[in-house]
Amino acid sequence: MQLHFAMFGRMAALLLAGLAAPAHCWSRLNVGGKTPPITCGGAVLTEQIKKNMRGENPDVPVSIIARYPLLDPFVKYLSDFHVYCALLLMFIVYLQFILPKGTVKSWAKFHVYLGRIVSFGLAPHYAFLGLLLNYYAIVLDVKDWKLAPPASDWRLQVSYIIPFALNTILAFATGFFLCKYSFMPQSMATPLKYLALFSMSFWFTIGVYQTGSQATGLGLGTFGLPVSTSVPGGTLDGQDFFTPVNLIVFFVGTMQAGQDYIFYRILCVVEKSGLKDISWKDMHKYAMIDLCYQGGVILSLFVAFFPFCLFGLPEWTCLESPFYAAPVIMLGISPVFFHVAWLAKFIKAVCGPVEAIAAFSKPTHKWDVPFGTTKAD
């Protein structure tokens, strides 16, 4: 137990140091000195959006994640519910990383039961509600983008969030259910394997096109649609904001595709031999590291960009450049850093011959049925 709190102390020191270094980079309202002024969420600054930041637009219900003109109360409810669940999910994930795991018997049952809150209480809604919200974000007719920071523009929703959603589903499925419950037996590894392949293919085609074209300034990632109907605000005034944002998303999305590939390798092993070669504990651990990384990146991006643009906090909370979100992202994914050595060995083993992962997982097969559960669970 003492070891875990010592690790937490080192983590806190690391994060504070990372945040202190770029503190001077936090800017005032006009990001990058653009004309017309651009907010830290990528919107062209107008009197309307100033009112919106202050909550003075009665026709624009304030969603927890974005002040879009969500005039449909049902969509707003779905958005808020999704965000609250995401915050609870990340709180539990961080707590699970800090506290002892199943190897400490006195904490094992707590670890398992807390994990079940995520696996049965939160995960199912992500499979349906998250995809539904992404659908709305892509197809809803947002009539006046001038009222809202458009950082959740449909182009990012298509290029990055679709494979992000698929990767998250893979993490939940392999980390909680595969080969552990009767509704997800070994045979389910096959469709999950193809889901991983589809996610990678989607990124390296549509994802790379949309983010890469904007990051390099060679295009708008709109598939040739007119600017008036496909770019937030209907003009190119705020497009400079999306160049660095898409560069960040390009690298993050490519990393995500690499994570999908590791899931593919895991699922190939499970498809052939179940848990005979790869242990459930190793499969679960990789999936949770993946989940912590993914959730940390998304949460950190919103925390970094939107305090001023969405919630009317002081103007100094507006980032001068999207690159200054990096320390906040490091904060969000920091629990992963303490597992880098294990992760490198695991990836090397699972990407090698089956004998390599079998040898790697041999000591952990006793956790194929975790402490506190039974085969009938």
3-state secondary structure 172-203: HHHHHHCCCCCCCCHHHHHHHHHHHHHHHHHH
Per-residue confidence (pLDDT) for residue 228, from 0 to 100: 82
CA distance 259 to 250: 14
Name residue 280's amino acid.
W
238 with 42: CB under 8 angstroms?
A: yes
| Block residue for tokens 């002892």 | 100
What 8-state DSSP symbol labels residue 27?
E
Per-residue confidence (pLDDT) for residue 277, from 0 to 100: 95
Per-residue confidence (pLDDT) for residue 186, from 0 to 100: 94
Per-residue confidence (pLDDT) for residue 59, from 0 to 100: 64
Name residue 92's amino acid.
I
Q: Which residues contact 89 (CB under 8 A, 6 or more apart)?
A: 118, 122, 295
Write out the two tokens for 370: 């975790």
Domain segments of the chain as ranges: 2-367
Q: For the chain of 377 residues, list the mean pLDDT of each consecutive stretch of 10.
A: 51 47 42 66 72 68 54 72 83 88 80 89 80 79 57 84 93 93 94 98 97 92 88 78 86 95 98 94 95 89 70 68 79 90 96 96 80 43
CB neighbour burial string for 171-184, b if at least 16 within 10 angstroms, e if fewer: bbbbbbbbbbeeeb
Give the pTM: 0.84
Per-residue confidence (pLDDT) for residue 287, from 0 to 100: 96
CA distance 257 to 298: 16
Nearest alpha carbon to residue 21 among 334, 333, 248, 326 = 326
Per-residue confidence (pLDDT) for residue 77, from 0 to 100: 77
| Block residue for tokens 């660095």 | 244
CA distance 333 to 182: 33
CA distance 221 to 208: 9
259 with 290: CB under 8 angstroms?
A: yes
Per-residue confidence (pLDDT) for residue 26, from 0 to 100: 39
